[in-house]
Structure 1
Amino acid sequence: MAIYEQLSNNSIYGNSGNTENSSWSILDLEDDEHGKVIDVTLFQSTGFADFSFQPILANNIASAGSQTVDLSDHIESDLVFDLRIVNWGENTIGIFTNMQCGWPCRSAFIPIANQTGINLIAPPFLPLIPVEGEWTEVRIPMQYFIKDNLSETDPWMDLTRANVISIAPPWADGNAQRNVHFQIDNLRIVPTQTPQNNTEPALNFFMAKNTFSVFANTTDIEAPSAHFTGSIEQADSAVFLLVDINNGNAVTNAEVSVDLNAKTGDVWLSLAHPNDLGAGIYSEVVTVRACKDQNCNQEYRGSPQRVNVHYVVNN
């Protein structure tokens, strides 16, 4: 384990430690489900800090920071760990994770937990909205760590030489790390679970973006719509897209189309007229299922996908 300090540009390694901006240790909770866990508190007294796991040679703490591990055989697996937010402190942006392969070689910073559930880049079902004090399982497909790093110049993550798994609030403006207290347990890499009713994983159904914002004015003549596309790969039978709309006021209807030649599935959402809603921000979650039959008795791999729709109406 390690803490990287922003101001000193230095990493401190070990099973426990204290710096001006952080404290971490192995804490025994003395319960049946979670015994010894990793306990991390960030203070942001003089700067930011970054908590991470790094590989070392057996019983040689001095090797930390210089060792790499080949995780490429686990591309079809998930990075999984249990997370408990003891106290959000002054954090409002959430906790992120990323992998590194010798900075600036890295993955994107993936939001895994926050207090709103809103993000632009996380895998489906993330970020989680954990209840303070309760344990939540975080499960991230390894493939997400090599999809992008949101940089035009820095090298993308190379799983053959991974050397850091970082879990921390971001180095963001404001007080993203001030008095944040969280715990981690059972960090592991496991084979990806096959979803229920998904006996033939022949299709990769994936939404590259799972949050959309739509803007309108109460004086607009027509109501706006939202359109998003999912990728469909290796479909060997019929594909049906089914859209579940919750009971909110923003989304009124959905239409879909599938183009197997282009390997895409499109969804168009009709939104309520802004004058009927009035000024405000209206958020809904739309669930899109890729199915092998009209009744969706069998879903393809990657289904369902959840999409956050934020409808902003101005006067």
Structure 2
Amino acid sequence: MATIATVMLITMSLASLVSALNVNYYENACPHNVDSIVAAAVHKATMNDKTVPAALLRMHFHDCFIRGCDASVLLESKGKKKAEKDGPPNISLHAFYVIDNAKKAVEAVCPGVVSCADILALAARDAVALSGGPTWDVPKGRKDGRISKATETRQLPAPTFNISQLQQSFSQRGLSLEDLVALSGGHTLGFAHCSSFQNRIHKFSQKLEIDPSLNPSFARSLRGICPSHNKVKNAGSSLDSSSTLFDNAYYKLLLQGKSLFSSDQALLTHPTTKALVSNFADSQEEFERAFVKSMIKMSSITNGGQEIRLNCKLVR
């Protein structure tokens, strides 16, 4: 458990960084429009693979929650030194090539200027916008980190977390309960493997086979997709009913008992987070407003990036 001093330090670091980042950071160093170059790479990839937006959004989240938004999730493992991307929670991350392609395009016009961390933050924004969600100005000026450890991925909030664990994980990074609920809305995009929600549909407790908070018919459908001795490697379910569209369906389904993760259901066990879920279920506009605010806040966390990588997979 982090000490109060540690939480205060992280919060102070966040406050100082928000003021340091700037949406016009590359205006002089790279007069070419970095935003549009990255957007073009994300758009091209998405045209070929509709799972790309969800992958990029998740990648950015997983990056920021370890060492801050320093692109450490992009680094490759070296021998026995396993990097973040090879940690258990990150094995299913994909679409790294999109960031590599964007970096190559940016390097062609502004060599050695734009960080991989900034490119990933921009790509996450573009992923949301391309899926029908909001867009926003991304503050820039992050530096790339030199350290990436698979063991540190244990710090990521797990799909089995309860509300206390979620609150602690987010608060340690200077993020509030509103940030928790808004950022959980990212689950409107993507797919989850059976292992992420198996605990809710098989042997939930000593007395119950299925989590009673699950809608019964929804639970039956999940058990059909994910039997107790599932042998289908990539079996799973879409995170909501419109998994390639950025909307507020996630919150509506959550209120109906049709969420996948225990961490989703946990949002209904605290009065503050439950009220926010209801608010976002009622208003797409309110959800988008809160999501943009929380994304800027989360993507502004950094704890010591040191360089501008020329290759996002390798330290300089």
Question: TM-score if structure 1 supplies the norm length?
Answer: 0.28
Which structure has more relative contact order (CA 8 Å, sep 6+)? It is 2
Higher share in helix: 2
Provide the TM-score with structure 2 as the length reference.
Answer: 0.28
Q: Which has the larger radius of gyration?
A: 1
